[in-house]
Amino acid sequence: MGQRKQIYLYLADRKDKDMKATVLVIEDNEKNRYLTTFILEKQGYQVFQAEDGQAGIALAHQIKPDLILLDIQLPVMDGYAVARELRQNGELRDVPIVAVTSYAMVGDREQVLAAGCVGYIEKPINPATFVAEIEQYLLARKPTGTQEVRHE
């Protein structure tokens, strides 16, 4: 149960620094959207949700989130396209996008990073470590390169 203690430590740090961080969750599966939102809101994040890529981009323009959690397999417009679109937008260019995906094929990770994501979290997520993982990307708000968090 040492791990759990560690998470608390992180959360404590986060709370102290920026309680009002805004996270946009773009996820088509309602249950998973709820799961992520629940975990993040429990930790004090302001969470916005979008059901598809198109809606996600529109919302991102609207709310200018601190972090975007992006599912790859989405209806209408897939995650790669969303990431590429966001990366071309001046305002949102620096907003870290972390892919949260059940894709696990060869080259998936490379493709994700190439599309403009800063990180990659494989589903299923571990609620115990999930917040700690995304914290890294929030802390590195100004990206100097790609950095990955391994779900291991």
Partner 1 sequence: MSMLEAVRTICSYVTGMIRKLSHASDRVTARGCDEHSRTDRICRQSGDHSRWAYHICAAMVVVSSVAAGQVDAAGRTVRVGVYQNKPKIFMDENGHASGFLIDLLDEIAAREGWTLAYVPCEWSACLAALEGGRIDLMPDVAYSPERDQKYDFHHIPVAESWSQVYANPRMQVNGINDLNGRRVAVLKDSIQQTVFEQYVRGFGFEVTIAPTGSLEEAFNLAANGSADAAIANNFFGNFFYQSYGLVKTPIVFNVVTLHYATAQGRNPDLLEAIDQHLGAWVQEPNSIYYTTLSRWTEKASAYRVPQSVYWVIGTTGGLLVVAVGMVLMLRSQVRARTKHLVQANGALRQSEERYRLISTVASDYMFSTRVDADGKLALNWVAGAFETITGYTFEEYIAHGGWRAALHPDDLAVDDRDMEKLRANQPAISEIRTLTKSDNTVWVRVYAHPVWDAVRKELVGIYGAVQDITDRKRAEEIREASERRLSLIFDTVSDVIYLLSVEPEDCFRFASVNPAFLAVTGLRREQVIGKRIQEVLPETSHALVISKYKQAIRENKMIRWEEVSVYPTGTLYGEVAVTPYWDAAGVCTYLIGSVHDITEIRRAEEEIRELNQELEQRVVERTRELEIAKERAEAADQLKSAFLATMSHELRTPLNSIIGFTGILLMGLVGPLNKEQDKQLNMVQDSARHLLELINDVLDISKIEAGQFELAHEPFDMRATIQKSIEKVAPLIEKKGLALTATIAPPVGQIVGDRRRVEQILINLLGNAIKFTEQGQVCIECDIEDDRLITRVADTGIGIKPEEMDALFQPFRQLDSGITRQREGTGLGLSICKRLVEAMRGKIWVESEWGKGSRFTFTLPIERTKT
Residue 122 token pair: 């494989």
Residues comprising the chain, all counted:
152
Q: In the set 74, 98, 125, 134, which binds partner 1 (CB under 8 A)?
A: 125
The number of C-alpha atoms within 13 Å of 151 and in the hemisphere containing its C-beta is 21
38 touching partner 1, by CB under 8 A:
yes
Q: Which residues pair with 49 in a beta bridge?
A: 25
Binding marks (x or -) toward partner 1, 43..72, rule CB under 8 A? Answer: ------------------------------
The three-state secondary structure class of 88 is: helix
The rounded distance, in Å, linking the Cα atoms of 63 and 60 is: 5
Q: Are 47 and 23 spatial neighbours (Cβ–Cβ below 8 Å)?
A: yes
Q: In the set 90, 104, 142, 145, which binds partner 1 (CB under 8 A)?
A: 104
Q: Which residues pair with 100 in a beta bridge?
A: 121
Q: In the set 15, 89, 94, 124, which binds partner 1 (CB under 8 A)?
A: 124
- Could you tell me the smallest distance in angstroms from the CB atom of residue 23 to partner 1? 16
Give the interface segment with partner 1, choosing from 13-21, 51-59, 62-70, 123-131 (CB under 8 A): 123-131
31 touching partner 1, by CB under 8 A:
yes
Q: Are 135 and 14 spatial neighbours (Cβ–Cβ below 8 Å)?
A: yes
- Could you tell me the smallest distance in angstroms from the CB atom of residue 47 to partner 1? 15
- Applying CB under 8 A, which residues contact partner 1? 4, 29, 31-32, 35-36, 38-39, 42, 73, 101-107, 122-128
